[in-house]
Amino acid sequence: MKWLQRFLLLVGGSAGAVLLVSVMYFLLFILGNADFSQAYRNIDNYEGITFINTYKHKAYKRTFWGLQEVEYPGVSLDRHELDQSDEAYELVKEKEGDAAWITCFTTSPDGKYVLYAEAISISKGASTDDDHIYYRVLNTQDGSVTTIYDGPYKCFWATWQ
């Protein structure tokens, strides 16, 4: 009988640990803006990039912990109007392919980089519109691509000053 109690205690403890980790993941990565990658530090002037949530009137900068809220610049941007004739857009489409769903793009002040957001559907054709958004920087000189932030349901407009 004691072995059954120990077994149930072990199973219950394991289930509790899995539940705790799942809740922490949900809070940090889904509701929050956590992202611990440091690849963004290789981009010149990454400090000039601002991620803007026009719906919530909030703005963020990239930091070690992910996105940190900063003062909202008060801009009104229409996320649906991408200038597809722009040279930067053409560079991104050439690199990512025509099937890529680019939701925004902007060039760095020195013209060396193109920052763009690529959405990947995680709903796989379901009736929801759940997307994982990757914010990437294309180096126009060597063609390398660096992901500077990504997250499920994280749809921002990006500006670079």
Block means of pLDDT (10 residues each) for the chain, 161 residues, are: 76 72 56 67 91 87 87 67 74 85 89 90 65 89 91 82 88
CB contact at 8 A, 63 and 128: no
pLDDT value for 18: 73
Separation of alpha carbons 90 and 44, rounded Å: 22
What digits encode the pLDDT tens for the residues 20-61?
666 655 545 554 566 667 888 889 999 999 998 878 889 999
Q: What type of residue sits at position 61?
A: K
CB contact at 8 A, 90 and 138: no
| CA-based nearest residue to 120, from 147, 146, 152, 92 | 152
CB contact at 8 A, 45 and 61: no
